[in-house]
Structures are given as C-alpha cells and as structure tokens.
Amino acid sequence: MITIPEFKTIQSAAIAEISGTATLLVHEKTGTELLYVRNDDENKVFGITLATPPTDSTGLPHIMEHSVLCGSKNYPLKDPFVELLKGSLNTFLNAFTYPDKTCYPVASQNHKDFMNLMRVYLDAVFFPLIPEEVLKQEGWHYELENKEAPLEYKGVVFNEMKGVYSDPVDMVYEYAQESLFPDTIYSLSSGGDPKVIPQLSYQQFKKFHEDFYHPSNARIYLYGDVNEDECFDVIKEYLNQFEQKDLNIEVPLQPTIPNLRLERKEYDAGGGDEAKTSMVTLNWLLPEVSALNERMAITVLNYILLGSSASPLKKALIDSGLGESLIGGGFHTEIRQFYFSTGLKGIKEEDVDKVQALIEDTLASLVKDGIEQEMIEAAINIVEFSYRENNTGGFPRGLALMLRALNTWLYGHDPLEQFRYEDALATLKSNTEVGSYFEGLIQKYLLDNKHRTRILHVPRDGVAAEQEEAEKKKLAEIKAAMWDEELERIIQEAKDLKQFQEEGSSPEDEAKLPFLAIEDLDRANKLVPGEHKAIAATDYFTHDLNTNGICYLDFAFDMARLPFEYVPFLPIYTRALFDMGTKNHDFVSLSPIMDKETGGIGASVFLTNKPQSIDPLRFMLVRGKAVVDKVPALLDITQDILLNIVFDDKQRF
C-alpha cells in the first residue's frame, strides 16, 4: 500500500497489465483526486484534467484552454508554452478540450525537464494571469481600422471555429452529437459556435476559471519512474494554497426520446466533392457503459461492422453504389454516453431512404443470419492486440493510459478498472462462446433502440455568402448603434491589443521560466541491443527487447535495381499489395485472416541519401507483427501476399 503524506489512499493495487502499481488518492485539504501509476517507464507523464461542461456555445472551455497557457503568476511571459517548446526535452506538451473536460498533459524522459513542466502547468492551470487582452487575442474582439471602416470580429478561436463550421464534413459529426443530446451539455459546442462566441464577456470568462479551475474539480495523474517525493512536494505546494470547494459538477444523462427524428441541414455548394451531392447519417444514442468488458465489446463490434474492407456494414454501403465513402465514424466512446453514427457521403438526395433502409436491413440480416465466426475472432484479436501492445507511436504510453482512465473516472467510476484488460478480455471471450453475443448487442443498442436521428446534409448555392452577409449586417447594426466615443475606444483597443501582442516579455520575466542546463542532460547513449548475421545473401538483424510477447518482423527489399522511372509507382504497389487479394484468398477473405492471425501487416517505401554517394538508398519495407506463437502464420500470410498477389480486379486497383 502506497502512502503519501496529506493524501488519503482510496485504493492501491499491483496491476500486471501496466507493469506496476496504480494508486488512487485524495488530497485531504482540497478533495483533489490523484491517480498515481508507478512503474519503470522512463517516459514520465503528468496531467491535470478538469470537468468543464459548457453552459452555452460561446466556446468558453476551448478559449480558456488557450488562455491559461498565455502567462501565469510565477511565469508571467506572454507565451511560456512556445518558450517551453524551444528549450524542453518534452515528449509531449499540449492541451485539449473535449465536450465535457479539458486536459493539460506533459511528458518527458528527463527528470529535471519533467519537474519544470509540472511546475509550469500547475501554475498555468491554477494561477493564470488571463488579462482581458488574452481573451481578446484567444477568444474574440471587435476590430475597426477607422470610423469609416467596417466593424469585424477577430480572435484565434473565433477564426479557428469559423473554419470548422464552414467544413461540411466536420459539421456532420457536430450535428450528429447535437441531435442526440438535445437536453444535455453535449448539444452545445465546447469548441465554440462562431455565431455565439461574440456573446462571451470578460466577466463570464473570469468566472468560468473561478468556478471550474479549482483543485476540488481537478483529477491529477502521475505516471512512470518518477521521483515520488519531489513530485508530490510540488503538487502539494500548489494544492495547499486552496481550501476545499463544494462543487457539484456533473454531466447528466440524456433522457430517452423514443422516436426517429429527421433533420435537414444545408451547406454551401461552392466547391469540392461535397458541392454536387448530399450526405446522410443515421445516429443512435446508447445508455451509459462503464464496465471495461462492455466498452471493449463495443470496440470489437465497431470493428466487425466498419473496421475493415470486409466488414459487412461498410461493404454493404460501399458496394451499394449509393454514395462515395463512409461518414459518421461508428461508435463514439469519449463522452459519458456512447453514440453510433454511420452513413454515406456523395449520395443523391432522393436516395436518402434507400441508404437508411440499407443500414437497417444489413444490421437486421446480421442478427438473423449471424456474424461469421472468423470475422468475430479477427475483431477480438485486433482489439486484444491493441491492448497488449499498447503501441501509441510517438504518443507516450502513460498518456494513453491516462485518457483510458478518464473514460470513466470523470463520471465517478473506478479508473483502475480501465487498466485491468485481462479480466475484461476473459469475460468478453466467455460471453462470445455462448453464441449470438454480438448479434445481441446489435439488437439491443441499434435495432431495438428508438432514440435515434437521421440527418440529411444537402448542398445549396449561397449558404456561405448568406452567413457572411448576416454577420456583416449584424456588425453594421452594432456599429450604427455606437457613439463616436465607442468607435474611438474600439479603434484604440485594437491598437492596444496589437501593441500587447508585439511587446516581448521582459528579460526578468523570461529568466523566471525554467530551462535545462548542460549538466541536466544524460550523456550516456542509449543503444538498442542487436545482433547481425548473414544468412545466404540476406542480412539478418535481431533485437532482444521486452515486447510483451509480440514479435515484430521487418523485411527490407533493396530497390536499387528497379529502373528509376518505376520508383514513383512503388507507393501504389505497396498499397495494392493489401487491397487486391491473392491466388489463395480474395481481398474480402484475406482481411479477416490477417486480423485473426496478426497485429497487422503493411508496406511502405523508404528513400534516403547514401553517405559519400550520389546514389540514394531505395527500399520497400514490409512490416508485420504477431504474438510469438502466431509468427508462422504471419510468415505464411506475408509470403502469400508477396508471391501470389492478383492484379486482375481493375476496379479495385
């Protein structure tokens, strides 16, 4: 049991899946919950997450996320975030806004750098300067060059969200969520609706920080091979400056609306693929799902339905010829209640009923006729592999675990459960053995679920122009109602804001931001252990590493003898390798075989300069991965693809 002074331990457990111990604590003075994952991962992660449910669509959570990183009490630079990027060894430094929460994570492999990042982020979140100039810069402000010029809106988030709201595909997802949650915060735009953002006042802005950016509303996360005493001393230094606050911040559940609701949205037909055709999505709202095995089952079901070229719902929609490509994204699982959204882009408006019927009929036939067992096994293998591998690419693994915990932690559920995937996998596989398990999920969550919407998006000439004209008209009315003194004030405020932005931080303030010194750097080279052998004419390299029982196989084919004029076609060839099928398996059957037996196989082109030579190095890389006992299957599949590919299907090519 881990004990930390001034913290009460709620629970602590050794969890094999994270190769360490997870401890949930609460700070006794402020009530701050803290999840501490202790293991030997040198890529340390720290994060602060706050529940930030919007009360309107002014984009306050989004604007605040930008603003707190624009200078704080102990680090009063204009933009410490940018300065940190210049002088930090961070492996992650960012912030992001969700529909109901805001996260501030950092990561670094260097101890001193990690401590610096912790201090700067704690100071930014709890003690930001946020003067009115920052709201004007990051949120919105009036801009007026002179009394005769037109009044305009300006601001970082305002401009960003105008781009989002002008993209019809982005709005497909925005409208799907909005339509399913008419009575909760999820019907509002946490990012900000450009029509509503200018309603935000500085008083609302300051009060939002006062209400939500308090330790009593914070979840703090600490992960990796950290200096425990030093980290907790810094955290306590900040938390102890506050008293516990009685906050009742809860994300309510959406009451069920037991009927299909039809909506029609228009977007501008000014250009692009969306200009000539319509789009449609069918959307279902699910009940709250917190148990990991059930969340995992929905992830598996998503892959069964839409995850590969052989997935029955995806294939039915694409092969129908009713549209060009899928939209909707399937199951959305990052908020309290999941929802499912799918449909087609590039349809004729008169075919909307056909698309709806096709989706419903395909789901019904899956329940009636059953899902192919091989498809189920492939989907489970893919999901299981992703949990076991936890390969997040350049994304710190500790941060991926933090986001996994937040899936339920924010809503009052046990965050440690989200790490125990072995038990969840065992339960999932046991449920699957009973038979018709995933068919039952389709019946329960989709076919029998009456809380759903259909949204038709249709193009119309002039929509964008009308929106711009409405904005200009509103601004003209606002300007016409102003006295000369108000116009002069706006002109002067715009000049003051420009001066504020152009003025650099003072040398005294810049010196307050912590930077690394040469002596803080690890001078030891970290070498990947490896061994080289020559087998026949092939170079063979092995690397003995801890990979959780997963074998990674890379094949590098030297393309030096390929005529240079054919090199541009290599990317097409590498893509075709996995989309055309082989003499033994067509593309529909090949995909689930790969999914069932491997963690994935892919190909790419590698070009680089050769030292002291004008000739470049050209390789085609084929990379695959599988658990150790399935390496023979991985080799068989790779050989089949490389030697037996069939290029006869011109339509797929």
Q: What pLDDT, in 10s, does the model give residues 503-517? A: 888 888 888 888 888
Is residue 234 domain-shared with residue 277, that is, in the same domain? no
Given this model, what pLDDT does residue 340 score?
Answer: 98
Q: What residues act catalytically?
A: 65, 138
Given this model, what pLDDT does residue 86 score?
Answer: 83
Q: Is residue 154 part of a domain?
A: no
Q: Is residue 183 part of a domain?
A: no
Q: How far is CA 380 from CA 145, 548, 631, in A?
A: 61, 18, 18
Give the bridge partners for 12, in sequence order.
23
Is residue 414 domain-shared with residue 346, that is, in the same domain? yes
Cα within 13 Å of Cα(439), Cβ side: 14
Is residue 306 domain-shared with residue 427, that is, in the same domain? yes
Does the pLDDT of residue 275 top 60, yes or no? no
Q: Is residue 158 part of a domain?
A: no
Domain count for the chain, please give it.
3
Q: Is residue 55 part of a domain?
A: yes
**Residue keyed to tokens 């063979």:** 540
Q: Is residue 479 part of a domain?
A: no
| 345-380 exposure pattern, b = at least 16 Cβ within 10 A, e = fewer | bebeeebbebbbebbeebbeebbeeebeeebbbbbb
Q: What percent of the chain has pLDDT over 70?
A: 99
Given this model, what pLDDT does residue 272 score?
Answer: 56
Q: Which domain holds residue 379?
A: 260-460
* pLDDT digit string, tens, across residues 212-244: 999 999 999 999 999 999 999 999 999 999 999
Length of the chain: 653
Question: Rounded to whole angstroms, how far apart are CA atoms 87 and 76?
Answer: 17
Is residue 264 domain-shared with residue 223, that is, in the same domain? no
Q: Two tokens at 637?
A: 């599949």
Local confidence band at 300 (pLDDT 50, 70, 90 cut-offs): very high
Identify the CA nearest to 259 among candidates 329, 357, 179, 173.
179
Is residue 597 domain-shared with residue 625, that is, in the same domain? yes
Is residue 503 domain-shared with residue 591, that is, in the same domain? no
Identify the CA nearest to 553 among candidates 561, 568, 564, 542.
542
CATH of residue 402? 3.30.830.10
Does the pLDDT of residue 274 top 90, yes or no? no
Does the pLDDT of residue 183 top 90, yes or no? yes
Q: Is residue 1 part of a domain?
A: no
More confident residue, 85 or 139: 139
Q: Which of 165-169, 253-257, 563-567 has the lowest mean pLDDT?
A: 563-567
Is residue 132 domain-shared with residue 226, that is, in the same domain? yes
Is residue 244 domain-shared with residue 271, that is, in the same domain? no
Supply angle C-alpha 36, 10, 297, rounded to 5: 70
Given this model, what pLDDT does residue 580 score?
Answer: 83
Q: Is residue 266 part of a domain?
A: yes
Identify the CA nearest to 305 among candidates 421, 450, 439.
439
Does the pLDDT of residue 454 top 70, yes or no? yes
Is residue 502 domain-shared with residue 579, that is, in the same domain? no
Q: Is residue 151 part of a domain?
A: no
Q: Do the beta carbons of residue 317 and residue 358 sit within 8 Å?
A: yes
Mean pLDDT of the chain: 92
Is residue 445 domain-shared with residue 300, that is, in the same domain? yes
- pLDDT, average across residues 617-632: 91
Given this model, what pLDDT does residue 247 score?
Answer: 86
Is residue 350 domain-shared with residue 419, that is, in the same domain? yes
Local confidence band at 652 (pLDDT 50, 70, 90 cut-offs): low
Is residue 268 domain-shared with residue 355, that is, in the same domain? yes
Identify the CA nearest to 2 among candidates 22, 19, 27.
22
